Amino acid sequence: MFMRKDAMAAISHQWPAEGLTRVPYWLYSDSDIYEEEQARIFRGPTWSFLCLEAELPGPNSYRRSSLGAMPVVVTRDKDGTLHGFENRCAHRGSLLVLNESGEARDIICVYHNWSYDLAGNLTGVAFRKGLAGKGGMPPHCRPEDHGPRKLRLETLSGLVFGTLSAAAPPLEQYLGAEIASRIRRVMRAPVKLLGGYSQTLPSNWKLYMENVKDTYHASLLHTFFTTFRLNRLSQKGGIVVSDSGGHHVSYSFAADSGGKEYEQAGMRAAQEGFGLEAPQLLEAVDEFGDGIGLQILSVFPTFVLQQTRNSLAVRRLVPQGLDQTELVWTCFGFTTDDEDMTERRLRQANLIGPAGYISMEDGAAPGFVQRAVTTAPDLLSVVEMGGASVASDDNRVTEAAVRGFWKAYRGLMGM
Amino acid sequence: MFMRKDAMAAISHQWPAEGLTRVPYWLYSDSDIYEEEQARIFRGPTWSFLCLEAELPGPNSYRRSSLGAMPVVVTRDKDGTLHGFENRCAHRGSLLVLNESGEARDIICVYHNWSYDLAGNLTGVAFRKGLAGKGGMPPHCRPEDHGPRKLRLETLSGLVFGTLSAAAPPLEQYLGAEIASRIRRVMRAPVKLLGGYSQTLPSNWKLYMENVKDTYHASLLHTFFTTFRLNRLSQKGGIVVSDSGGHHVSYSFAADSGGKEYEQAGMRAAQEGFGLEAPQLLEAVDEFGDGIGLQILSVFPTFVLQQTRNSLAVRRLVPQGLDQTELVWTCFGFTTDDEDMTERRLRQANLIGPAGYISMEDGAAPGFVQRAVTTAPDLLSVVEMGGASVASDDNRVTEAAVRGFWKAYRGLMGM
Amino acid sequence: MFMRKDAMAAISHQWPAEGLTRVPYWLYSDSDIYEEEQARIFRGPTWSFLCLEAELPGPNSYRRSSLGAMPVVVTRDKDGTLHGFENRCAHRGSLLVLNESGEARDIICVYHNWSYDLAGNLTGVAFRKGLAGKGGMPPHCRPEDHGPRKLRLETLSGLVFGTLSAAAPPLEQYLGAEIASRIRRVMRAPVKLLGGYSQTLPSNWKLYMENVKDTYHASLLHTFFTTFRLNRLSQKGGIVVSDSGGHHVSYSFAADSGGKEYEQAGMRAAQEGFGLEAPQLLEAVDEFGDGIGLQILSVFPTFVLQQTRNSLAVRRLVPQGLDQTELVWTCFGFTTDDEDMTERRLRQANLIGPAGYISMEDGAAPGFVQRAVTTAPDLLSVVEMGGASVASDDNRVTEAAVRGFWKAYRGLMGM
Amino acid sequence: MNIELQLKVQDLNVRYAQAIDDNQLEAWPDFFTEDGRYRVTTAENFERGLPLGMIYATSRAMLRDRVRSLRDANVYEAQRYRHIVAPPLLTADEGRGARARTGFLVARIMHTGETTLFASGRYEDHVVLDDGVARFAEKVVILDSRLIDTLLAIPL
Amino acid sequence: MNIELQLKVQDLNVRYAQAIDDNQLEAWPDFFTEDGRYRVTTAENFERGLPLGMIYATSRAMLRDRVRSLRDANVYEAQRYRHIVAPPLLTADEGRGARARTGFLVARIMHTGETTLFASGRYEDHVVLDDGVARFAEKVVILDSRLIDTLLAIPL
Amino acid sequence: MNIELQLKVQDLNVRYAQAIDDNQLEAWPDFFTEDGRYRVTTAENFERGLPLGMIYATSRAMLRDRVRSLRDANVYEAQRYRHIVAPPLLTADEGRGARARTGFLVARIMHTGETTLFASGRYEDHVVLDDGVARFAEKVVILDSRLIDTLLAIPL
Ligand code: FES
Ligand code: FES
Ligand code: FES
Ligand SMILES: [Fe+3]
Ligand SMILES: [Fe+3]
Ligand SMILES: [Fe+3]
């Protein structure tokens, strides 16, 4: 009799014997996997980036964010303390907060006006005692026990992270010393918001995170990059992979070694460069004093901190299904910036975002994979640049950071 | 090895021990549940509202409707008798009727011209005997056995209901005497159609039905309502819940007790009222002679009969998937109405529908719940206003009618 | 406890005892079936039409096509040899080719610039040896083993077919002599492309293929056809069904027997004809010299070759999900055509395609079935015109070719 | 063809659409005469001669009431419209004004960024010169579809 | 810039679109000259120099035949269009008429209420004055997409 | 109301949109003055006074650089736009030019045929006469949505 895929899938869902150098394609197209990730990763013992502290400017303010697909609210109460909780009412489960952000002393659910303080505590139940002695809620009923799940919050240099899990280690420990110091390097002063935008990615969330951690593609996919020699693998630089594998840093120095490996390799990316008519686009200053012109940093599962010359941004992902993900960008400078520096950051913002000279391809490439591998669920992706290593390295022709992602992923998914 | 959600779901799908005062959120996000509901509820022993008799004006007329997601046809034959059947051809399963409504003496499937009478009986098979003695259908073949499933129809005061099930009790018994009499109260004369429209609701069908039966939200979500004192929980009124639990009536008298409970409770809905510049909008007459200004009546699973002052409407739901539902409105008056009464109904129609002052929120609130609970499948909704009662009551600060819905639902779903 | 659909489905998924004269509706609405078809039929031992040789005009050209839902590339190398392979990179699985068609000496994946020859062989891995002695790929790593799956290609009179399976018999054997000769009849000279377009069909792919093989519907659904007597079942003609059942030909001669069966049967399609104001639309020449005015030919699973008078086209299907399918049309003539013949083909193209006088209905009818049968998964479609035969016949009032489709389908699906 | 009038009516439509799309709801009633009529209905109701509207106002005062309700009473997620209005087709040019039929599309953009084709239809307008200013004595919005996604808060 | 002509051509486009959107198909052929040509094709075919059309007529009579077939012979679900036509770009102003290029969007509204962005593209028109009346001597509808959802019954 | 100017600005918009929709990107910078400014931002940034743009150019040279990058460096799937631009609302008529606010919709058509409503918003333009030719001294594209599907390659 006809043998059903369900059964077959259950059998085939074993990680390949090769380990981290191979990734099975069913991970991107199985809807059960997607649901599992929401529970085990995003609602599990991981820290998700929620927003910048600067996005909650004053007391009695709130903004929406998410823990994977789960909607959450981040608030700053009247004493300036930050709180985070699920955006779900204790009563019938309505969203508690509808606006992206705003100011409020308390939160009132629109559906039946149950009220909450900014810590997410249920403080009022409309007509709890009924009306004129009739109706209302029995004394033994404890709706407070069904309140929105509260997040543990920790902030690092103005970045707000949250988790639902008591089992998650403290944030600094989760990040490790090197990642934390690389975050501090960028977040060196109070943040001034410059603006934001989002992209809808036609792919599974993991494909975008792999792209971020994939130091191998940078100079090959982004040919503006290479053509204008803004960055070449031949430039000095390297990667850092955290012990957990889940976090990484990729960096390179601004100076160009002038290597000719590209021309020798004779690859598409090596077509001879032409000059910009308006080179001021790239005019940058070494604001961090260490000569590093590019630093891409990721924190498992879905956070990115980016320094592209003087253009700074944080990104976070919101999974919206098996093959759709929202990418949220927030660009910033520092309150200490003068006008020229702000203008510089805005000009260099031409390099990033959905229209960015060196980032537009990243919006599409994960989708190219999604479309090709859905009909190859039982085949394997090859992740063996730099061997099987998941360690830090002083070169970027490696997929160590991608393997690191899968190391952390497998641990959490129990695969 | 990796444990799959399917298996886990099967385990978690147990109704919580608290009974009707708790509703598990997986009911709104599990696609198997959706399929089960189609079979056990909509194609099971329930009566679904199909249309108004007035929507089939004369003999030899038809219109499309649905039994849950299943497309059906309702007809009035040449003798004026009403019939209902599945909108599916006996042959290869094409829709039999494409237009929303029309006139016809028989129904001919466009695909291969098989013909049916208005009772849904297969009356003709094109080339059944072949052509020039060749081809055609073997004598033993009985395509009639595969004809569209026929509905049992019953009408009550101009409302047409249908069921596929022989096990469904007679309509009046299904409704119970009190619900039936409340229907007759409104349907007091021959109907004159005023028009209709539909809404796409971004939520599971059950969330909208709960909203209808939720007498607790009315004055809290709809602040136009309270601000203009069109209805306050403090006004005299009450609810009726049928023995089955599945049907309900909520009603209130037009006069306002002038209570100040809102101000005391100090809730959002209590902002001090301002007057209308054009109060004639609300000018109404007591056409039913009992002082009741508002009566909302629902019949399990998906019918609503509404009297908002002089604005009258029927509503029915068409589930279109786990998280999308179409809401179909038909507004009417009576053939006995004079011009002023018609104008009054049209003016008061500003209160209802997708743009209605006191109903637009009902199009959105169920979606607020859908979006918040999808990532909380294993948590529970709290339905304990008015305790655990599922009985009629003379006040509306209760969720008894919502619990009644779940009482009927569990019985049919075998949960 | 609550019994889940999954379990029930597994039970109900048995082919009905009646055999090929009944088709269960769950075949069109079960997502596991869809996945199974991709593996067992499209990636299994069947030949899929990929493109016309004329669509790869010169050496070093490529174009995209598909094997079911699987994206593939067809190329013509510098020696003129045709190749076909999966459109998926050996590395991380990106689409290799993005444009619909073009010219190239080799194929370079945009993501990390891995390169391939036009046969789909991996020829270059960027930085395989690393950079300045660092990074790169270990010598033992054989990414070549993960290259895009190669297709076996065979061409017949300018039609290019491909399969992934070594078990598929040679193309001519797969088709059988009669189908092959019927193909050769039409493809009688080098092809000149006239253009193309596509349709999105709101239905499962099988419903469209059944429509193509359904010689019974032609004169009943398409009333332009009958009204203008372009073709009547009463005209001489017949069908050919291959031994496998999967392929078919339907043909009729241009002359009209003038029979009155329609009027006698008194069916919708028989409304008295009116003349065309501009009859030159239908003016045709007997270019094949056999008097056959209409020949529709299908090859399992998803290829159609069509001759409607002098209008010639190939069609192929691309399943895009359970209830969506893309239909790709390419219309052509021959390099030997003179201007009048080209004009004739273009004028008669008014008969075909999404706006075709006798084909527009075929874009919609499968969707009518899809919408009606989704809520009848356990009911059966009746396919008994012409009895249970799956044989060739000299009349077209039969569903033999449709039964033939299911004969081939069941064999491959193991049902 | 009266180019002056044609462009005057088009200009009225453009300003009307811009006011709504820029969330200038308070300015909306002023595009109507004091006793101006506004009705939103469906082509289905309109063609079947059924009088029901989704919104039905018979004076500028009723429009102001709706604006105040939308601002102070009704609950709906932050959203905006983008109207694209075709050039008007003047069907009659009366002394004091003109009858105009105008096709339109409206995209709705939610605060989440989600953009959908929310409405399409035509305006059947009676435009008059109200001491020099072109205003709507009547505006009937006839929607091609009977279906509204979620709710209709902002006027069309 | 010839404002008069510009607005005349725009007016022709608006009336053409309204006639179709109002289901006045019988009026459709009269927007063409007696030997007017009408062709619907895709940008892909057009740019590759391939002559195939989805609809191809070389006279008003052929357009009338299509209307009669749509009314009496063809089977398709009730649906309507809503055209939004940009202002025309006059590319040449010949003695008896003008060449105009005009962008458009068409929304399709099914009887069920479902609204989709059905077509986008441009018109390449040859407009002539046919005893005083502006008509199409040729109208080529060039669709941006090669993809038609379900079927193309009502003309574009 | 200055009909001449109104139509001049509209004509500029139409030619601008056609150039982009016809893939004449090389002609795009010439719609701007030598030191013309071009910025694409979101209504959210604009209303909150945040200066960030998705694209930000302060000279024709920077626009030419972008065109050359789109042609020679950037990787994106073949796609085209279809702009529908409303009539402009002239908000100020200065000596050398005008301030115009113009609503627009943009459909995006992928090589696969897939058509989506890609963008909606308004142009805030400063149009000047540059030795007789109307050009943009500044064009700010304010998108109604903060969300871009996949990427933004072709300018809006
Ligand atoms: S759902 Fe929040 S108060 Fe009822
Ligand atoms: S499907 Fe209805 S006649 Fe064949
Ligand atoms: S995915 Fe093709 S080169 Fe990496
Ligand atoms: Fe990148
Ligand atoms: Fe309500
Ligand atoms: Fe057909």
As a three-state string, the secondary structure of chain C is CCCCHHHHHHHHCCCCCCHHHEEEHHHHCCHHHHHHHHHHHHCCCCCEEEEEHHHCCCCCEEEEEEECCEEEEEEECCCCCEEEEECCCCCCCCCCCCCCEEECCCEECCCCCCEECCCCCEEECCCCCCECCECCCCCCCCHHHHCCCEEEEEEECCEEEEECCCCCCCHHHHHCHHHHHHHHHHCCCCEEEEEEEEEEECCCHHHHHHHHHCCCCHHHHCHHHHHCCCCCCCCCEEEEECCCCCCEEEEEECCCCCCCHHHHHCCHHHCCCCCCCCHHHHCCCCCCCCCEEEEEEEECCCEEEEEECCEEEEEEEEECCCCCEEEEEEEEEECCCCHHHHHHHHHHHHHCCCCCCCCHHHHHHHHHHHHHHCCCCCCEEECCCCCCCCCCECCCCCCHHHHHHHHHHHHHHCC
Q: How far is the CA of A358 from the centre of ligand 4 (A)?
A: 7
- Alpha carbon separation from C17 to B89, B93, C415 (Å, rounded): 21, 19, 12
Q: Which two tokens stand for residue D141?
A: 């919005």
DSSP, collapsed to helix, strand or coil, labels residue E52 as: coil
Interface of A with B in 317-376 (CB under 8 A): none
Q: Which residues of B fall within a CB distance of 8 Å from A124?
A: 267
Interface present between C and A (3 or more CB pairs within 8 Å): yes
A36: left (phi over 0), alpha (psi -120 to 50) or beta: alpha
Chain B residues within 8 A of E113 when measuring between CB atoms: 198
The CA R_g of chain C, rounded to the nearest whole Å, is: 23
Nearest CB partner across the interface for D1, out of E11, E21, E80:
E11
The ligand whose atoms approach the alpha carbon of A211 most closely is 4
For residue D7, give the H/E element and its range.
Answer: helix D3-21
Please state whether at least 3 CB pairs lie below 8 Å between chains F and A: yes
Over its C-alpha atoms, chain D yields an Rg (Å, rounded) of 15
Cβ-contact C364, E74 below 8 angstroms: no
Ligand 2 atom with minimal separation from the B113 CA: 3
A131/B234 touch (CB, cutoff 8 Å), yes or no? yes
Partners of C266 in the beta sheet?
none
Closest CA to B221 of B24, B369, B327: B369
Report the complex ipTM: 0.95
**Measured on CA atoms in the order D118, D122, D124, D125, is the torsion positive or negative?**
positive
E142 three-state secondary structure: strand
Chain D touched by F43 (CB under 8 Å) = yes
| pLDDT confidence of residue C229 | 63
Other Cβ atoms less than 10 A from the Cβ of F16: the count is 22
How far apart are the C-alpha atoms of A294 and A308, rounded to whole Å?
A: 5
Would you state the pLDDT for residue E67?
A: 97
Could you tell me the distance, in angstroms and rounded to a whole number, from the CA of residue B232 to the centre of ligand 1?
A: 18
Query: What is the structure's pLDDT at F91?
Result: 86
For ligand 1, the distance from its centroid to the CA atom of residue B239, given in whole angstroms, is 20
Q: Is C38 on the interface with B (CB under 8 A)?
A: no
Tens of pLDDT along A166-194?
A: 999 999 999 999 999 999 999 999 999 99
Q: How far is it, in rounded angstroms, from Cα C107 to Cα D91?
A: 60
**In which order are the strands placed within the sheet that holds A152-156?**
A48-52, A159-163, A152-156
- What's the CA gap between B193 and F117, in Å, rounded? 37
**Residue F84 near chain D (CB below 8 Å):** yes
Protein residues with C-beta less than 5 angstroms from the ion ligand 5:
B 362
- The two tokens of residue B109 are 């499937």
Closest residue to atom 4 of ligand 1, CA basis: A112
Amino acid at F89: L
Paired strand residues for A193: A332
Q: What confidence score (pLDDT) does residue A316 get?
A: 98
How confident is the model at residue B48, as a pLDDT? Answer: 98
Contact B382 A91 (CB under 8 A): yes
Nearest to D105 among E17, E84, E87 (CB): E84
pLDDT band at A270 (very low <50, low <70, confident <90, very high): very low
C-alpha span between C58 and C80 (Å, rounded): 7
Residues in A touching B221 (Cβ below 8 Å): 110-112
Enumerate residues 196 to 255 of chain C having a beta carbon within 8 A of any beta carbon in chain A.
none
Enter the DSSP assignment of B136. -
Residue C219 confidence (pLDDT): 83
Residue linked to tokens 């902030």: A155
How far from C243 is each of B56, C161, C229, CA to CA, in Å?
A: 52, 20, 32
Shortest Cα–Cα distance, A34 to chain C (Å): 17
B touches F (3+ CB pairs < 8 Å)? Answer: no
Q: What is the pLDDT of residues F81-91, one digit of tens each?
A: 999 999 999 98
pLDDT at C169: 98
Which residue, judged by its Cα, is nearest atom 3 of ligand 1?
A112
Nearest-Cα distance to chain B for D133, in Å, is 24
Q: In the predicted model, what is the mean pLDDT of chain D?
A: 95
- Main-chain dihedrals φ then ψ at residue D8, nearest 5 degrees: -65, -45
**C111 contacts on F by Cβ (under 8 Å):** none
**What's the DSSP call for residue F152?**
-
- Listed residue (F85, F86, F87, F78) closest to F108, CA to CA: F78
- Under-50 pLDDT residues of chain F: none
- C-alpha–C-alpha distance, residues B106 and D136, integer Å: 48
Q: Which residue has the tokens 């498992």?
A: A300
Q: Where are the alpha helices (DSSP H) in B176-258?
A: 177-186, 205-213, 218-221, 223-227
- Per the CB < 8 Å rule, is B98 touching E113? no
Q: Is the pTM of this model over 0.90?
A: yes
List all chains that touch chain A, counting a touch as 3 or more CB pairs closer than 8 Å.
Answer: B, C, D, F
Q: What is the tens place of the pLDDT at every residue in C146-182?
A: 999 999 999 999 999 999 999 999 999 999 999 999 9
Ligand 3 pocket, residues with Cβ under 6 angstroms? C 89, 91-92, 94, 109, 111-112, 114
Q: Which residues pair with C52 in a beta bridge?
A: C159
pLDDT at position B325 is 98
Strands F133-143 and F32-42: parallel
Q: Which residue is closest in CA terms to ligand 1's atom 1? A: A92
Question: Looking at residue D113, what is its pLDDT?
Answer: 97
**Which one of E79, E111, E114 would you mutate to disrupt binding with B, by most B Cβ within 10 Å of its Cβ?**
E111
Output B259 or C121, whichever has higher pLDDT.
Answer: C121
pLDDT, mean of each 10-residue run, chain B (415 residues): 45 85 97 95 98 96 98 98 98 98 97 98 95 87 96 98 98 98 97 98 98 94 77 74 97 64 47 74 93 96 97 98 98 98 97 97 98 97 96 92 98 95
Residue nearest to atom 1 of ligand 2 (CA): B92
Total Cβ atoms within 10 A of residue B35: 20
CB B379 within 8 A of CB B386: no
Those residues whose C-beta lies under 8 Å from the C-beta of residue A28, and which sit 6 or more positions away, are A203, A204, A206, A207, A322, A323, A369, A370, A373, A374
Taking the CA of residue A216 as reference, the ligand 3 atom at the shortest distance is 4
CA atoms of D81 and C125, how far apart (whole Å): 50
B74 in contact with A at a CB cutoff of 8 Å?
A: no
- Per-residue pLDDT, averaged over D102-131, amounts to 96
Place A2 in a pLDDT band, splitting at 50, 70 and 90: very low
- Which of D77, D109, D149 is the best residue to mutate to test the F interface, defined by the most F CB atoms within 10 Å of its own CB? D109
Question: Is the CB of E41 inside 8 Å of chain F's CB atoms?
Answer: no
Neighbours of ion ligand 4 (CB under 5 A): A 362
Query: Best mutation site among D109, D110, D112 for testing chain A: the one with the most A CBs within 10 Å?
Result: D112
Query: Which pLDDT belongs to residue F92?
Result: 79
The partner residue sitting opposite C365, judged by closest CB among B36, B38, B94, is B94
B254-to-B72, B221, B295, B310, B351 alpha-carbon distances in Å: 39, 19, 11, 12, 15
Q: Residue B210 and residue B370: Cα distance in Å, rounded?
A: 12
Evaluate whether chains A and B are touching (3 or more beta carbon pairs less than 8 Å apart).
yes
Ligand 1 pocket: which of A86, A97, A111, A128 to mutate (most atoms within 8 A of CB): A111
Using one digit for the tens of pLDDT, what is the confidence trace for C405-414?
999 999 999 9
Nearest to E137 by CA among E19, E62, E37, E5: E37
- In which residue ranges of chain E is pLDDT below 70? 1
pLDDT for position A227? 73
Q: Which residues between 60 and 99 in chain C have a beta carbon less than 8 angstroms from any beta carbon of chain F?
A: 98-99
Q: In the numeric block, which tokens belong to residue B190?
A: 């021959």
Residue C410 tokens, joined: 């069941």
Which residue ranges have their beta carbon within 6 Å of ligand 2? B 89, 91-92, 94, 109, 111-112, 114
Cα gap F104→D105, rounded to integer Å: 11
